[in-house]
């Protein structure tokens, strides 16, 4: 039996798709690169915006048209948040949500044997534990993602994710240590810790994110530990100093902002002010002099006035982010914001997104210019262009150095590089003449 996998959305979804691929492979269901070659098609969905739903449904229609004989499994956030997805997605033969993944193999077997459609979305209940999935195989990866947290308790007014993922829960420390060790044994040199609300890791045992970083940094073979997207809450000075004590910790902080206007933040039910956010950024930069701060910014939230938008624009400019992901607000059925008055017309949201995007691009260029002249360790990865070796510094600055024809790949090696110049979205460097800082 063969299977094709299609994943939408965030890094957590990608991690889970890879885990499901590994689970099914161990049951003799082999992955294929093209859906036309598959007996089974598994679509792991995202529902963070209405646009995400449309993309999933379009993919299902396309896959059904191209692969009429295949069995299609729809899983992930869309059916979990919207249990009526069976009616909205008639192309799917089996529908599950974001939990009880261990039972999926048996359900797939039953589907393939009986050809009876099945809909099994189980709601979350309070107090549930973290569902462990077998780690995906990462033998060919320089950097690997490790999911350590699931769920969210915040209930931002625009977000459906608490309904799609349940409440906050954390991967047990013993399971994290085991997965990190397996990752290192497979040859991965950098661990990226990810979750739905990563900053709440460890809350079940009155711990914190430092517990996860401590565990991963203690694993031989892991040279770098990086954090995924973070909410600004819960990053105390004590925690930051604890992170800074690890040479392996990478000083890149993706702190989700959403808006640089306090009035909009209150309407979003975000739990900080711009002053508190700016104070956190200053504390990070004081403790980590080479820190890079990246973020997400939404424009066109219901009720956002031109003055509110100008305030947000100016705050982003002042913060000097290394990179900003800009996106227009999209109403999400089932959320408070979707029912708010003063919805912003789409053309205006696009205009604001373009203006914010210009500011974001200027911030990016300024940050990359600020890296010129620095000597940084670069972990090199696979490069599609044979003319360049490409990799990342600890603060996730992309760096490329010229590659001579026929020269051996630097992949999975760390070399000290002096950054000579910058381009709009990367830096150009030169290897220092001494030996690599950390090699296999």
Q: Helices 11-26 and 104-114 sit at what angle, rounded to 10 degrees? A: 60
Provide the residue count of the chain: 440
> Quick one: pLDDT at residue 103?
82
Q: Do the beta carbons of residue 215 and residue 177 sit within 8 Å? A: yes
Lowest-confidence segment of 216-225, 299-308, 421-430, 431-440 by average pLDDT? 431-440
| Res. 327: pLDDT tops 90 | yes
Q: What is the per-residue pLDDT across 210-232, written as a single tens digit (0 to 9) for each?
A: 999 999 999 999 999 999 999 99
pLDDT digits (tens, 9 = 90+) for 157-174: 999 999 999 999 999 999
| Residue 312 to residue 297: CA distance in whole angstroms | 9
In whole angstroms, what is the distance from residue 107 CA to residue 87 CA?
19
Per-residue model confidence (pLDDT) at position 436: 55
Question: What residues are paired with 36 via a beta bridge?
Answer: none
pLDDT digits (tens, 9 = 90+) for 342-367: 999 999 999 999 999 999 999 999 99
Q: Could you report the per-residue pLDDT of 406-415, keeping only the tens digit for each? A: 788 899 999 9
pLDDT of residue 134: 84
pLDDT band at 86 (very low <50, low <70, confident <90, very high): low
Domains of the chain, each with CATH number or no CATH? 2-119 (3.40.50.12160), 143-369 (3.80.30.20), 375-431 (2.40.50)
Q: Hey, which residues does 75 pair with through a beta bridge?
A: 44
Residue 112: count other Cβ atoms within 10 Å of its Cβ.
15
Is the pTM above the cut of 0.85? yes
Check pLDDT > 60 for residue 439: no
User: What digits encode the pLDDT tens for the residues 413-430?
Assistant: 999 999 999 999 999 999
pLDDT of residue 440: 44
Burial of 424 (0-12, 13-18, 19+ CB in 10 A): exposed
- Taking residues 81-107, report their average pLDDT: 84
Does pLDDT of 270 surpass 90?
yes
The answer to whether the beta carbons of residues 402 and 383 sit under 8 Å apart is: no
Rounded to an integer, the average pLDDT of 303-332 is 97
Mean of pLDDT values over 57-63: 95
Q: Residue 137 pLDDT more than 50?
A: yes
Average pLDDT over residues 45-54: 89
User: CA 98 to CA 38: how far, in whole Å?
Assistant: 23
Mean pLDDT, the chain, rounded, equals 92
Residue 437 pLDDT > 70: no
Long-range contacts for 344-347 (Cβ within 8 Å, ≥24 apart)? 344/300, 344/301, 344/302, 344/304
Residue 385 has pLDDT above 90, yes or no: no
At CB < 8 A and 24+ separation, what contacts does 12-16 make?
Answer: 12/147, 12/150, 12/194, 12/195, 12/196, 13/44, 13/46, 13/76, 13/77, 14/145, 15/136, 15/145, 15/146, 15/147, 15/194, 16/44, 16/76, 16/98, 16/101, 16/133, 16/147
d(CA 35, CA 308): 46
Q: Determine the pLDDT at residue 342.
A: 95
Q: Residue 115 pLDDT > 70, yes or no?
A: no
**C-beta separation of 177 from 183 below 8 A:** no
Would you place residue 102 in the very low, low, confident or very high pLDDT band (cuts 50, 70, 90)?
A: confident
The CA distances from residue 54 to 14, 49, 58, 88, 337, in Å, are 19, 9, 6, 11, 19
Is the dihedral angle over the CA atoms 336, 341, 345, 351 positive or is it negative? negative
DSSP class of residue 204? G
């Amino acid at each position: 039996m063969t299977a094709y996998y299609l994943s939408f959305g965030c890094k957590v979804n990608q991690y889970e798709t890879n885990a499901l691929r590994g689970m099914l492979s161990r049951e003799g269901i082999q992955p294929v690169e093209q859906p036309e070659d598959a007996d089974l098609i598994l679509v792991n969905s995202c529902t963070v915006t209405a646009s995400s739903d449309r993309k999933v449904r379009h993919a299902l229609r396309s896959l059904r048209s191209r692969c009429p004989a295949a069995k299609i499994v729809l899983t992930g956030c869309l059916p979990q948040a919207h249990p009526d997805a069976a009616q909205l997605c008639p192309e799917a033969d089996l529908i599950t949500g974001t939990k009880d993944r261990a039972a999926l193999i048996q359900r797939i077997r039953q589907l393939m044997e009986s050809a009876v459609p099945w809909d099994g979305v189980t709601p979350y209940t309070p107090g549930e534990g973290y569902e462990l999935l077998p780690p995906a195989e990462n033998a060919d990866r320089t950097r690997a993602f490790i999911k350590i947290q699931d769920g969210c308790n915040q209930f931002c007014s625009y977000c459906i994710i608490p309904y799609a993922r349940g409440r906050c829960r954390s991967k047990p420390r013993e399971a994290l240590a085991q997965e990190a060790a397996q990752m290192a044994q497979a040859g991965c040199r950098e661990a990226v810790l990810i979750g739905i609300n990563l900053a709440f890791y460890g809350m079940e045992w009155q711990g914190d994110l430092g517990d996860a970083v401590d565990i991963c940094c203690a694993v031989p073979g892991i040279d770098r530990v990086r954090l995924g997207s973070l909410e600004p809450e819960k990053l105390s000075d004590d925690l930051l100093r604890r992170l800074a004590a690890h040479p392996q910790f990478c000083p890149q902080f993706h702190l989700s902002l959403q808006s640089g206007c306090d009035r909009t933040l209150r309407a979003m039910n975000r739990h900080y002010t711009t002053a508190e956010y700016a104070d956190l950024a200053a504390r990070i930069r004081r403790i980590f002099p080479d820190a890079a701060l990246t973020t997400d910014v939404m424009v066109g939230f219901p009720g956002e006035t031109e003055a509110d938008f100008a305030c947000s624009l100016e705050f982003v400019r002042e913060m000097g982010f290394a990179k900003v992901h800009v996106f227009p607000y999209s109403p999400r059925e089932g959320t408070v914001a979707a029912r708010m008055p003063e919805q912003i017309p789409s053309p205006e949201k696009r205009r604001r997104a373009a203006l914010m995007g210009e500011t974001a691009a200027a911030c990016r260029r300024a940050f990359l210019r600020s890296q010129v002249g620095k000597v940084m360790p670069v972990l090199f990865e696979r490069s599609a262009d044979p003319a360049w070796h490409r990799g990342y510094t600890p603060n996730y600055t992309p760096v490329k150095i010229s590659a001579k024809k026929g020269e051996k790949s630097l992949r999975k090696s760390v070399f000290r590089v002096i950054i000579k110049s910058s381009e709009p979205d990367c830096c150009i460097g030169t290897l220092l003449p001494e030996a690599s800082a950390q090699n296999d």
